[in-house]
Amino acid sequence: MREIEKTKEEWQQELTGQQCFVLFEKGTERPFSHPYNDNKENGTYVCAACGTPLFSSETKYESGSGWPSFFQPISSGNVEEIKDSSHGMTRTEVVCRKCGGHLGHVFNDGPKPTGLRYCMNGAALKFDKAE
């Protein structure tokens, strides 16, 4: 059970079609297609569905993958990592712990200090600009 549980229809009333596809159908946006990939502003990336704080702009970096990438979440308690064996490979899926929305995947090829690359779909995020 998640802290926030809604039907597909309820999510569709609150989110765009692309957001629903990524967050609740485990879809992926095309690489280099979301403006957050190039965003250099200071602030916090939150879950587009429920607003849970996920990543700080201070941990964002240019991975060259075409998706917004971060080397660590704001809090490990805000994300959940799940083994994903879909598409003929084994990866680690990252979901929002509060609503269960699919955010992307985490890989072990990131920069120091963690060596991790949280490769997130921009459609799964909203950006709260720092004031």
Q: Which residues are catalytic?
A: 119
The answer to whether the annotation marks 47 as part of a ligand binding site is: yes
Sheet architecture: strand order including 60-61? 60-61, 69-70, 117-120, 102-107, 91-96, 79-84
Helix, strand or coil, per DSSP, at residue 74: coil
Identify the CA nearest to 78 among candidates 108, 98, 101: 98
Residues 7-16: b if buried by 16+ CB within 10 A, e if exposed: eeeebeeebe
Residue linked to tokens 């609150």:
14
**Residues placed in the known binding site for Zn(2+):** 47, 50, 96, 99
